[in-house]
Structure 1
Amino acid sequence: MTASPRAPIIGIAADDVTGATDSVVQFFRSGWSSRLLLGELLPESVEPGSALAVNTDARAMDPVSAREATARAVAGLITAGADHLYLKVDSTMRGSVEAQVAGALDAWQERHPGCIAVVCPAYPAMGRTIENGLLRVNGSPIEDTPAGRDPVTPVPTSEFSALLPGTTSISLSGSPKKDAQALRDAANGRVVVVNAASDDDLRTLAAALVAAGPTAVPAVPAGSAGLAAAMAEAWAQAAPTLTPPEAAPAALGQRIVVVVSSLHDVARAQTDYLREQLDPENLRILQPDDSLLDQPNRLHQWAAGELEYPQTLPRVVIVLSPEAVGGSETLSGAAVARSLASVVQQMLDSTEVGALVLVGGDGARAVLDSCSAEALRITGAIQEGIPVGVVEGGSAAGKIVVTKAGGFGPVSALLDTVNELTTTLAQSTEASS
């Protein structure tokens, strides 16, 4: 008797937490049971039809560290049973992308000799496109956008020949088998970049990648949430029936805490807009002075004073990094994020919180780590680029968490998120009462 084919297990290695959730939510939308894993150990047994994302924190690492971190993450996903791999890189090519691609291939080729990487960070829904080997955001060269001025990982050029030296950029024909071979021919045994200016282009690439692998012409897709969405759909269509994901649980409170660790211009503008639009009676800002960030005891004392009467905290609380960290020049973005996370933890210990909105990858990682969260089970998306899930394990178990990359979305994105969460929390409370 022939065994029934099982659905594959998708492994997603991402360079930060918000990118991981933004990618794995695309698999949720296509019917995969989807989680961001946060613990040190991966599960020994994972159900077929699962999509598992892990965070490498590789974006701001030096090339050697980024390559090693990505290889370790991919090796862990293989141990957990992943037989398909997606490498999530920044849609604007910030950070150590070249090293991340190399690390993913280092580990994946142990199971799939001769594998290649197919790089396409285009995300047309968010204005990111690749045309004639050039990376653009809303039509502008990447170096002329906020990503080009990123305070941690600026992108100096839009030319992929410089961003990924030694690669060529190709366009596909729409014939999956021919395109699969074209990817192999153009990769020169290692990496190829694919042009994409529309969602149709991404679907064409996904069809070619399904035809290419993971065993015939083993190819690892590397891109943003845009390509992740196309791959999730294409792999689902090629798989046996998937088990429907679990429903979201009832909310645990009404208060919304927005944590903005990102220093990106877009994140700051969205925060300012949120502050302008909300009724002051419904809003509280907790923004520690930069001189407190490297003084844990003083920061704790400051937060204790701000939270002395937790019952008076309004419906929305914003925990915001200082405009500048001149007094803490030796602190990394991750260290600043950990300081903000300690303030959030004090709030969770003292008052009821229904949802956390985490803006910026470092901040999302720090807050979830401070809560000892084991996983984030994805339950949907508020809008493109803003996934939502529920914490599993740790002191924040059961709380709703929304993650958002600092550089994504319209100026109203945070206001829209808070408004939708307010409705969701109210409906959940009514349903459970």
Structure 2
Amino acid sequence: MIGVIADDVTGATDVAAALRRAGLRTLLALGIDIDDTAVSADAIVIGLKTRSLPAAEAVAQSLAALAVLRQRGADRIYVKYCSTFDSTAEGNIGPVTEAVARELGVDLVVTTPAAPLHGRTVYRGHLFVGDTLLAETHMRDHPVTPMRDSSVLRLLAAQSAEPVATLPLEVVQQGAEAVREALRRARAEGDLQVVADAVTDADLAALAEAVGGDALVAGSAGLVGAIALRETASGTAAPVPPPGRTAIIAGSCSRRTLEQIDRFVSSGSPAFRIAAEPGDTAEQLAARAVEWWDRQPDDAAALLYSSSPASERRDDVPDAGELYERTAGLIAAQLSDRGVKRLLIAGGETSGEVIRALGTTVAVVGEEVAPGAPWIHDERRDVHLILKSGNFGDEELFVDVARQGVAA
């Protein structure tokens, strides 16, 4: 069984989608509490919220997740991080991978953020987003994890205690045996982590053939997806969301989410902007939003959003981000209590708060509505969710998901 430790909720759904796409029965655990349904899984993904925690805390939570995965029968572990290598100078990608390697007794780990499906490639150890080096993209000014160096080797070495090396593209493209030979040399030289170049799915397939049976591998959803394609699919049918109204709750301020909001609004669909005034509480904001929802036609999907471009963000509402996240969780819980079965959540932090408010601990992964954005089914609450990273999906995603609920 493949066990995955992911450093945030939407990243966990991204990797779960890759595993499900390969035909594996995949369970998504949003925390380390996993019930007995997990024994029938081909793969288990544990989604944590460790990306921006202090390194020591991220390591402790990751090791706790590792223990649960091993108890559940996982014999191969994947440390999953974002395909834009979101991290600080101190971690947490390097420290977590090293700690898991020590716990497993592993002396070499292949790692790569390459995910060609999402336009992420690695060449000469440098990470590209499309045709642009990482440090020249919007990630340069990320408020929590600004990425101002495109060299994965330098970024990883700065946060790691053990040596880091690279696996060049020309070796990867020679095939699995050439990769294995290069890794034997790296192991002899004392390197613990090896950053692999990859620019196509064929490159990931070669890496998967070489390291797919290893006890520990690390990277984005790209490499583990290639490893999953080498597994025997269980053939288990994916859960399908029922017809009905879709509630879309958006908190991400990424460019793509803002485009999806604009497209939904311009389509004439109902939309409610959550805008706090000084002194507002999450309970008050959620009450206004849900009252608005109740006034909409019973067959109309609707959008409730706090997302806004940087130019429109206010400075007079303290801790606005946390306020809006809590509001989103309250809205989702109240709509679920009203019988809403279909929820699309946009944004990693927003998704984390929503699943906390819903009490979702384990969900079965279904089909994708966009690459990296699958439906997941919380069987206990009987609600189907899409937990979407802010940058995922095309401009039509909100409109398309809303229409599918009505058409179904």
Bin the TM-score by the shorter chain: 0.7 to 0.9
Aligned AA (1:82): A
State the partner residue of 1:267: 257
CA deviations on 1:83-116 (whole Å, 9 max, x unpaired) are 1111111101112594234324423543x31342
Does residue 180 in structure 1 map to residue 180 in structure 2?
yes
Which residue does 1:204 correspond to in 2?
Answer: 206
Whether the 8 Å contact between 1:372 and 1:393 is mirrored in structure 2 is no
What does residue 219 of structure 2 align with?
A: 223
Q: 3-state SS of the aligned residue for 2:229?
A: helix
* Residue 116, structure 1, aligned to residue 108, structure 2: yes
Structure 2 residue 149 is matched with structure 1 residue 157: yes
Quote the residue 1:139 is aligned against: 131
Runs of 4+ in 1 over 6 A off after TM superposition: none
Residues 284 and 314 of structure 1 are in contact (CA less than 8 Å); yes or no, is this contact kept in structure 2? no
Aligned residue for 1:167?
164
* C-alpha contact 1:66 1:100 (8 A) present in aligned 2: no
Looking at structure 2, the residues matched to 327 and 313 of structure 1 have their Cα atoms a distance apart, in angstroms, of 36
CA contact (8 A) 1:373 1:392 kept: no
Contact kept, 8 Å, 1:290 with 1:322, in 2: the verdict is no
Count of residue pairs brought into register by the alignment: 393
1:194 maps to amino acid: A
- Deviations, residues 331-366 of structure 1 (Å, cap 9, x unaligned): 5x455322211122223334x423111111111121
Kept in 1, the 8 Å contact 2:114–2:121? The answer is yes
Q: How does 1:61-76 map to 2 (within 5 A)?
A: 61-76=53-68
Q: Answer yes or no: is the 8 Å Cα contact 1:61–1:95 preserved in 2.
A: no
Residue of structure 2 in register with 1:243 after alignment: 234
Structure 1 portions without partners, runs of 5+: 1-8, 215-219, 428-433
Distance 2:340 2:145 in 1: 33
CA distance in 1, matches of 2:3, 2:276: 40
Match in the other structure for 1:362: 349
**Which letter maps to 1:381?**
E
SS at match of 1:326: coil
Tell me the equivalent position of 2:76.
84
1:377-433 deviation line (CA, Å, top 9, x unaligned) = 111112312212222213xx1x221222112343334334434x33xx533xxxxxx
Aligned to 2:160: none
Distance across 1 between alignment mates of 2:15 and 2:99: 22
Maintained 8 Å contact 1:291/1:328: yes
- Does structure 1 residue 400 correspond to structure 2 residue 381? no
Whether contact under 8 Å (1:91, 1:224) holds in the other structure is: yes
Q: Any conservation in 2 of the 1:87–1:101 contact (CA below 8 Å)?
A: no
Give the superposed CA RMSD.
2.6
Q: 1:411 aligns with which of 384, 388, 395?
A: 395
CA distance in 2, matches of 1:285, 1:248: 30
State the one-letter code of the partner of 1:306: W
Report what 1:233 is aligned to. 229
> What corresponds to 1:5 in structure 2?
none
1:28·1:379 contact (CA, 8 Å) conserved in 2? yes
Q: TM-score, normalised by structure 2?
A: 0.87
Q: 1:327 aligns with which of 304, 316, 321?
A: 316
Alpha-carbon distance between aligned partners in 2 of 1:120 and 1:415, rounded to the nearest angstrom: 34
Match of 1:59 in 2: 51
**What TM-score results when the alignment is normalised by the length of structure 1?**
0.82
**Separation in structure 2 between the aligned mates of residue 23 and residue 304 of structure 1, nearest angstrom:** 32
- Counterpart position of 2:24: 32
State the AA in 1 paired with 2:70: I
C-alpha displacement at 1:310, in angstroms? 4.3
Report the equivalent of 1:431.
none
- Distance in 1, Cα, partners of 2:375 & 2:124: 35
The alpha-carbon deviation at position 10 of structure 1 amounts to 1.1
Partner of 1:4: none
Cα shift at 1:250:
5.8
List alignment gaps of at least 5 residues for structure 2: 158-162
- For 1:400 and 1:349, locate their aligned partners in 2 and report how far apart those are by CA, in whole Å: 13
Deviations for 1:231-266, whole angstroms, at most 9, x for unmatched residues? 1112x0xxxx54322342561x51111111212222
Q: Distance in 2 between matches of 1:193 and 1:38?
A: 28
Note closer, same or farther for the CA distance 1:35–1:159 as it changes in structure 2 (3 Å cut): same
